[in-house]
């Protein structure tokens, strides 16, 4: 059995994906803006992910903007039959790389067409509505109009499944009254566990929860407990952070991001890592202290 298979699989929309996937945001230039320094190296990461068994890639046209999707198309099109590409809409970039809300009906529709063109697809597997009510984290407020637009695009066949990102439990419930929700993507990791209740609720209904910043995002996870567990298991802290998320709940699907083939291989090997009880106790303590890891 190859390494990545140890992590198991889960339904995402109507496809079965391996629980260890790949997040493509790091492939754009610095600040997720513009071209990467070495586009060939970026395409090599994507090809290696597929070669190692990844069949779930997370992306967006606002990475670059457009750059990440174009790299995915250049590296992987025509796509393997089992590959599920999840994109997100609801934001746009300004000329300085700032992140702006872009979720009017026209903007959402345009974003779907941009993603189709840049990815070279006739319909998108999964499209997450990325709430921009607050760019930094979930904020209450109605997303009914935006979700209704996505539901219409789904009926038109441009989208196969609708997901949500940066949302609250109330918004998930509201959306589920409009359209089946294929997945929820929020920030969550060893040190930031605000979504524990949401994860368990979604698990009961078989809906995938896809944590973004699984390794801490722009500020990598660091804590003495994480380092000591990793050293004891002869693993790296990033592998332990991934293994902890994999054991957190069967509906958690991972999309760790990297621009490096070496890091990619290291991260996917986390599928082999079993965390013993004493390690879990130490790691669970990180989330309870909160501030000891960033
Ligand atoms: N919905 C949203 O609002 C939202 C927001 C952010 C991200 N996302 C999605 O979530 C995915 C994952 O998040 P992310 O990429 O921002 O953060 P992440 O996966 O938590 O961490 C990525 C960072 O960790 C580094 N890294 C990766 N593997 C490593 C390793 N083995 N050792 C040391 N450093 C390592 C990467 O640097 P190197 O490139 O040097 O490896 C990069 O700086 C993104 O790619 C994107 O698809 C969604």
Q: How confident is the model over 272-286, as pLDDT tens digits?
A: 999 999 999 999 999
For ligand 1, what atom is nearest to the CA of residue 165?
Answer: 1
* C-alpha 215 to ligand 1 mean position (Å): 6
**Using alpha carbons only, what angle is made at residue 37 by residues 33 and 40, rounded to the nearest 5 degrees?**
115
Q: Which atom of ligand 1 is nearest to the CA of 263?
A: 31
Beta bridge partners of residue 124, listed in sequence order: 159
| Residue of 68, 73, 59 lying closest to 28 (CA atoms) | 68
pLDDT of 288: 76
The per-residue pLDDT for 271 is 97
Cα-to-centroid distance, 217 and ligand 1 (Å): 5
Pocket of ligand 1 (CB under 6 A): 23-26, 58, 88, 130, 165-166, 185, 212-217, 220, 238, 255-260, 263, 266-267
Atom nearest to 221 CA in ligand 1: 20
pLDDT at 293 over 70: no
Nearest alpha carbon, ligand 1 atom 37: 258
Q: How far is the CA of 178 from the centre of ligand 1 (A)?
A: 31
Residue whose token pair is 């590959």:
83
Per-residue pLDDT band at 287 (split at 50, 70, 90): confident
- How does DSSP assign 199-256, residue by residue? HHHHHHTT--B--BSTT-TTS----HHHHHHHHHTT--HHHHHHHHHHHH-TTB-B--
pLDDT tens, position by position, 188-215: 999 999 999 999 999 999 999 999 999 9
Rounded CA separation 194/151 (Å): 28
Q: Bigger pLDDT: 183 or 289?
A: 183
The 8-class DSSP code of residue 63 comes to: T
pLDDT score recorded for residue 174: 98
Phi, psi at 11, each rounded to 5°: -75, 135
List all residues 6 or more positions away from 9 whose beta carbon is below 8 Å from its beta carbon.
16, 17, 18, 19
| Ordered structural domains, the chain, with CATH | 3-289 (3.20.20.100)
Question: Within 10 A of 257 (CB to CB), how many other CB atoms are there?
Answer: 22
How does pLDDT run across 152-173, given as a tens digit for each residue? 999 999 999 999 999 999 999 9
Atom of ligand 1 nearest to the CA of 260: 41
Q: pLDDT of 39-50, one tens digit each?
A: 999 999 999 999
Q: Exposure of 1 by Cβ count < 10 A (0-12 exposed, 13-18 middle, 19+ buried)?
A: exposed
Q: Which of these, 69, 27, 32, lies nearest to 260 by C-alpha position? A: 27
Q: Are strands 84-89 and 124-130 parallel, antiparallel or unpaired?
A: parallel
Among protein residues, the one with the nearest Cα to ligand 1's atom 8 is 212
* Confidence band, pLDDT 50/70/90 cuts, at residue 2: low
Q: Are 18 and 55 in contact (CB under 8 A)?
A: yes
DSSP structural state of residue 292? T
* The residue to which tokens 């395409």 are assigned: 43
Is the pLDDT at 291 greater than 70, yes or no? Answer: no
Q: What pTM value is reported for the model?
A: 0.97
Q: What residue's CA is closest to ligand 1, atom 23?
A: 217
DSSP-based three-state secondary structure for 38: coil
At 1 the pLDDT is 55
What is the per-residue pLDDT across 103-152, written as a single tens digit (0 to 9) for each?
999 999 999 999 999 999 999 999 999 999 999 999 999 999 999 999 99
CA of 80 to the centre of ligand 1 (A): 23
Bridge-based pairing of strands 124-130 and 91-93 is unpaired
What SS3 state is found at 120?
coil
**pLDDT given at position 39:** 98
Choose the residue to mutate in 164, 215, 216, 262 for probing ligand 1, maximizing ligand atoms within 8 Å of C-beta. Answer: 215
| 3 state SS of 8 | coil
Distances (CA, A) of 248 to 225, 254, 258: 17, 11, 22
- Which residue owns the Cα nearest ligand 1 atom 13? 213
What share of the chain has pLDDT > 90, as a percent? 96
Query: H or E element: which one contains 159?
Result: strand 159-165
| Structure tokens that stand for 89 in this block | 């809409």
Which tens digit of pLDDT belongs to each residue from 58-74? 999 999 999 999 999 99
Residue 294 has pLDDT above 70, yes or no: no
pLDDT digits (tens, 9 = 90+) for 215-264: 999 999 999 999 999 999 999 999 999 999 999 999 999 999 999 999 99
Residue 63 appears among annotated catalytic residues: yes
Among the listed residues 22, 63, 79, 209, the single catalytic one is: 63
């Amino acid at each position: 059995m190859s390494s990545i298979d140890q992590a198991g699989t889960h339904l995402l929309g109507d496809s079965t994906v391996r629980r260890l996937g790949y997040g493509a945001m790091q492939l754009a230039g610095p600040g997720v803006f513009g071209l990467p320094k070495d586009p060939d190296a970026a395409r090599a990461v994507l090809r290696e992910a597929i070669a190692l068994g990844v069949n779930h890639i997370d992306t967006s046209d606002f990475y670059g903007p457009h750059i990440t999707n174009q790299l995915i198309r250049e590296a992987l099109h025509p796509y393997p039959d089992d590959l599920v590409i999840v994109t997100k809409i609801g934001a746009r970039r300004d000329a300085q790389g700032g992140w702006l809300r872009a979720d009017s009906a026209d903007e959402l529709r345009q974003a779907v067409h941009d993603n189709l063109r840049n990815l070279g697809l006739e319909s998108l597997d999964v499209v997450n509505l990325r709430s921009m009510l607050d760019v930094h984290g979930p904020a209450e407020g109605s997303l009914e109009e935006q979700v209704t637009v996505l539901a219409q695009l789904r009926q038109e066949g441009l989208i196969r499944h609708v997901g949500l990102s940066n949302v609250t439990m109330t918004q998930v419930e509201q959306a589920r009254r409009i359209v089946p929700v294929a997945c929820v993507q929020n920030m969550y990791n060893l040190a930031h566990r605000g979504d524990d209740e949401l994860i368990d609720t979604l698990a009961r209904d078989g809906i995938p929860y896809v944590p973004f910043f699984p390794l801490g995002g722009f500020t990598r996870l660091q804590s003495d407990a994480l380092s000591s567990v990793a050293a004891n298991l002869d693993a790296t802290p990033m592998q332990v952070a991934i293994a902890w998320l994999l054991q957190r709940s069967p509906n958690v699907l991972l999309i760790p991001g990297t621009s490096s083939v070496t890091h990619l291989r290291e991260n996917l090997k986390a599928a082999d890592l079993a965390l013993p009880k004493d390690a879990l106790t130490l790691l669970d303590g990180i989330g309870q202290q909160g501030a000891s890891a960033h």
